[in-house]
Structure 1
Amino acid sequence: MKQAELQKLVEEISLQYFGLPFLHKATFNPRLRTTGGRYLTKSHHLEFNLKSYEQYGIEELVQIIKHELCHYHLHLQEKGYQHKDREFKECLKRTGGCRYSKPVAKSKERPYRYQLVCQKCGQTYLRKYKINPKHYRCGRCRGTLKMNQIYLTTRKNDG
């Protein structure tokens, strides 16, 4: 789905379920990781997680759009637009929006790029980011560490 199609869908849902026009921007934000969407109170724009749409389809995206439009319209009407507010909960119930979005699957592999080796006992530590080994000691024997750069080692991400 393209940005223009998302914008049109949000405008249609706003008119159909709220009876009010959506006058701001709706975009996909690739940086969203743990949420399906976001309402920006200062600019009044809406951002959506493209991965939620790709993973769960149009039905889930419509639910997320309704949720964010509840924030949008209640905020513009100066009513309770936060999750804790009664007006927000009633708006969700009235429009059929979801309270929480389904979790998005995370990437399963993260590459290790660096390996620290203890000079005393040989214990190895894998790291994603470069650190200064002079500031650290071995957790097993308190020996000094040496940094090696590695390329192909990966680990499974548990969460």
Structure 2
Amino acid sequence: MNESDLQTLVEQVSIEFFAKPFRHQARFNPRLRTTGGRYLLKSHAIEINPKYLEARGKDYLVGIIKHELCHYHLHLEKKGYQHRDQDFRRLMTEVGAPRFCQSLDPTVKVQVYQCISCQTEIIRRRRFQESRYRCGRCGGKIHYIGPRTQAVES
């Protein structure tokens, strides 16, 4: 899929699901890392991460486009276009747009701790200060083992 195919797809999705035209530019942005797409407030352009098309396919890409078009149409109508706004959440459920993108990376780095008394392993995404916490099972002291890479459940 090239840029003109993406532009056509965004225009079709806008008419089909929102009954409103998309009059601005849609483009791929390979520099996007942690998001499937983004809506630019000043230029009203929509940028899409091409890695999601390669990894998840066209149907998943349509979901990302719906999400970004929710931002687009609500912003132009001067309604609540941010994730926390009620207008945005209502429109997303109406058109069936996903709220978040699934991760492209199937693994995540986790922090591993262990109880000194009962040897229970405690896994967290973020580090914490061991001296401030105790084991939930036996009340023993906790010590840090180190980071580990773990598969993400989808």
**TM-score, structure 1 as length reference:** 0.66
Match of 1:55 in 2: 55
- Following superposition, the deviation at residue 100 of structure 1 comes to 0.3
Match of 1:12 in 2: 12
Aligned partners of 1:24 and 1:45 also within 8 Å: yes
- Following superposition, the deviation at residue 92 of structure 1 comes to 0.4
The residue type paired with residue 63 of structure 1 is G
The one-character-per-residue Cα deviations of 1:32-53 (angstroms, maximum 9, x if unpaired) are: 0000000000000000000011
The one-character-per-residue Cα deviations of 1:69-110 (angstroms, maximum 9, x if unpaired) are: 00000000000000000000000000000000111238xxxx
Count of residue pairs brought into register by the alignment: 110
CA distance in structure 1 between the aligned counterparts of 2:45 and 2:30, rounded to whole angstroms: 15
Which structure has the greater CA radius of gyration? 1
CA distance in structure 2 between the aligned counterparts of 1:36 and 1:44, rounded to whole angstroms: 17
Task: In structure 1, list runs of 5 or more residues that go unmatched.
Answer: 107-157
Match of 2:43 in 1: 43
CA distance in structure 1 between the aligned counterparts of 2:85 and 2:105, rounded to whole angstroms: 30
The residue type paired with residue 9 of structure 1 is L
- Following superposition, the deviation at residue 59 of structure 1 comes to 1.0
1:104 equivalent to 2:97? Answer: no
Match of 1:3 in 2: 3
List structure 1 segments (4+ residues) > 2 angstroms apart after TM superposition: none
User: Cα RMSD (Å) of the superposition?
Assistant: 1.8
- Following superposition, the deviation at residue 22 of structure 1 comes to 0.2
Q: Secondary structure at the match of 2:75?
A: helix
Task: In structure 2, list runs of 5 or more residues that go unmatched.
Answer: 107-148
User: What percent of counterpart residues are identical?
Assistant: 53
Match of 1:140 in 2: none
CA distance in structure 2 between the aligned counterparts of 1:27 and 1:89, rounded to whole angstroms: 25
CA distance in structure 2 between the aligned counterparts of 1:42 and 1:105, rounded to whole angstroms: 31
CA distance in structure 2 between the aligned counterparts of 1:50 and 1:18, rounded to whole angstroms: 23
CA distance in structure 1 between the aligned counterparts of 2:35 and 2:93, rounded to whole angstroms: 20
Q: Secondary structure at the match of 1:38?
A: strand
1:83 equivalent to 2:83? Answer: yes
Aligned partners of 1:29 and 1:47 also within 8 Å: yes
